[in-house]
Amino acid sequence: CVVGFVNLFCFFLRVFCPTGLRYSAACEDAVTDTANKRRHQGLKDPHPGTPACRRTDAHGPTRGACGDAGLRGSNAQVCGRPQLKDRIVGGVDALNGAWPWQIDIQKDNAHICGGSLITQDWVLSAAHCFPNPSDLSSYTLYIGRYQLNGFNQYELTRSVTRIVIPSGYQDPNSGKDIALLQLSSSVSWNNFVQPVCLPASGTLFPSGMSCYVTGWGNIREDVALSGIGTLQEVQVPIISQTSCQEMYQTDPVEQVDILFDMICAGYQEGGKDSCQGDSGGPLVCSMVNGTWVQAGVVSFGLGCAKQNRPGVYTRLTSYSEFIRSTIPEIQLYGGARRSVCGCVVVLASCLSVFLMLTQR
């Protein structure tokens, strides 16, 4: 009876909260725990063929026996799931294909900014990379690129047909530093060209969460990435808005306001950071189900990797509606029909109490 009730609850969870992977995982953990206890007691498992750690998304069971989960776009491609797993200041060479959403944005055949592939037709970057959004012809986007000056077997090239920037944008310090770029033609997915997931407004990136920044920017202040220019990666923790604001107020001469639509990452002591040329690139974090979700867009900082000067990024959870209104078909990580989903979360709490009582 308990297992049947739990499975019924899981069914409604999947229907009404299709992208609520956190709740779905908790629900199926309850099913697994109950089923394991039944086996221990010599009772029959009503679903003997079901993998114990299977999870679902909005389109049914995910790939892999243990929940290879990620959100799917309209083309059924899973976002935030690199198929190949194996400079930024203080960073190291990334593996080819490790960050398949990374974009090289060039103007007049010179690297100026990074970006991230979010659908087959759209790229995310920073508004300050495009001082004249109507000047489209001078920009070229390289997708699937690994080395700036080397041979890239899997790269694709696209021009830009449209640049969308929030109304009222002035400069990075004033916020709204985000840009959406529409590609001249759709890209095809392969192991080296895949989209990153974007967060819904309620997705949390808590202080201390370990994330990665990638790009081809300077490896030190005023020192460009040399040689073949291999894509760099650096691991940085999220810094709370309060702590970040306090750090930027230590120098009374150079103070910066950390606004609501900004998120910080880095180290108080410095040493690891994004730098010039990394602008527009992604700050990505691995969520509990292993999906990579982009938390921020490289925006600005005072110098590079300096003490009390962590990197400042555009907080993407503040722009969920802007992104959704521009790209209606996009699916955001953690997005759900909140009114119904909220009720389901309450039911989840009641179910937890019910399960505890029935196991006593």
Which long-range CB contacts under 8 A does 82-87 form with residues at least 24 apart? 82/194, 82/292, 83/191, 83/194, 84/191, 84/192, 87/216, 87/217, 87/218, 87/219, 87/225, 87/232
Give the pTM: 0.71
Average pLDDT, the chain: 76
> For residue 7, is pLDDT > 80?
no
> To which residue do tokens 């009772």 refer?
43
Name the CATH superfamily, with its identifier, for domain 92-326. Trypsin-like serine proteases (2.40.10.10)
Cα 101 to chain centroid, rounded: 10
Taking each continuous run of H as one helix and of E as one strand, the counts in the chain are 5, 15
Question: Residue 9: its pLDDT value, please?
Answer: 54
Give Rg (Cα) of the chain: 22
> For residue 147, is pLDDT > 50?
yes
Confidence of residue 283 (pLDDT cuts 50, 70, 90): very high
> For residue 154, is pLDDT > 60?
yes
**What is the C-alpha separation between 92 and 233, in angstroms, rounded?**
6
Question: Which sequence positions are flagged as catalytic?
Answer: 128, 177, 279
Residue 192: what residue type? F
List C-alpha distances in Å: 265 to 183, 198, 209, 218, 241: 29, 17, 9, 18, 10
Measure the CA angle with vertex 262, ends 285 and 295; round to 5°. 15
Question: Residue 295: its pLDDT value, please?
Answer: 97
Instruction: Name the least confident of 165-174, 180-189, 220-229, 296-305.
Output: 220-229
At 43 the three-state DSSP class reads coil
> For residue 225, is pLDDT > 80?
no
Annotated domain spans of the chain: 92-326
